[in-house]
Amino acid sequence: MECRVLSIQSHVVRGYVGNKSASFPLQVLGFEVDSINSVQFSNHTGYSHWKGQVLTADELHVLYQGIKLNNVHQYDYVLTGYTRDTSFLEMVVDIVQELKRANPNLVYVCDPVLGDHGSMYVPQNLYPVYKNKVVPVADIITPNQFEAELLTGKNISTEKDAVEVMDLLHAMGPDTVVITSSDLPSRLGDRFLVSLGSQRHVRPDGSRTTQRVRMEVHKVDAVFVGTGDLFAAMLLAWTHHYPNDLKMACEKTFSVMHHVIQRTISYAHELAGPGRRPSPPQLELRMVQSKADIEDPAIVMEAIVLS
């Protein structure tokens, strides 16, 4: 039975960001993907110049109404990422709620893009919308440490803090939480960063159980754009295939990320030449070249089960 995803994300003509980072790998893994472009830019904003258009909340509503009128709005997943507009975000919530009424099993995967390293890079008025409206209807969220702290009001300085923050996020709504990156010290040294995940399950008798995992992830000395979009898409895919095994879903997801990033950085350094720092065009993700790794990633990272 085919699985259908509605992906509401940014779009770029050149490179892999937003819908282009999500759609290709999901399609490779057998998902049907309908894409709505929240923005349409020439390229991502890490370049010196960019041009394009931004979709308004009203325009999003019109597109969704067109899908509804043709009765082709049956979805199994909704996937969203970066946005800068509160009314657009609120329209997304309205659409998700309507789709969930039609299909109570629909899974909403949200990357709550707010900021990183202590500062926000979206308008501050998006924060209460994410906290009070978006996260409560989400099933899977992929915040970084800063975003997880911001959404819960609790700082993370130890692994115990991170577990408590993930529990607070569960209490807000999502059954699956993955903190994609943190400042916690890695047991493997300063060349690694720590990611943590938590997944709630309801047993047949109605009681709840939670699986928590920790991963040590290789740091890379480069700035990539589109990796968060790829991560959320791969977590969607691998939790679909392993719905009750967060350990395996994370190992598959992080391994895909590792292979794509390593292929990208090798190619970028080759283009840049010895001793030269790769440019944004050279660091565009090597997505098509990583097709085999997306389909069947060699597991190169082990998730340690905490509980």
- Judge whether 60 and 93 are in contact, CB under 8 Å: no
Q: Which two three-digit tokens encode residue 121? A: 């890079």
Would you say 22 and 230 are in contact if contact means Cβ atoms under 8 Å apart?
Answer: yes
Active-site residue among 190, 229, 245, 293? 229
Least Cα distance to 37 among 19, 23, 22, 13 occurs for 19
Gap between the Cα atoms of 307 and 305, Å rounded: 6
Rounded distance, CA 278 to CA 248, Å?
A: 33
Beta strand 192-202 with 304-305: parallel, antiparallel or unpaired? unpaired
Main-chain phi, psi angles of 70, to 5 degrees: -90, 5
CA distances from 69 to 55, 65, 78, 119 (A): 20, 6, 19, 42
58 is catalytic: no
Sign of the Cα pseudo-torsion (248, 253, 259, 262, in order): negative
β-bridge partners, 78 = 6, 108
Catalytic machinery residues: 229
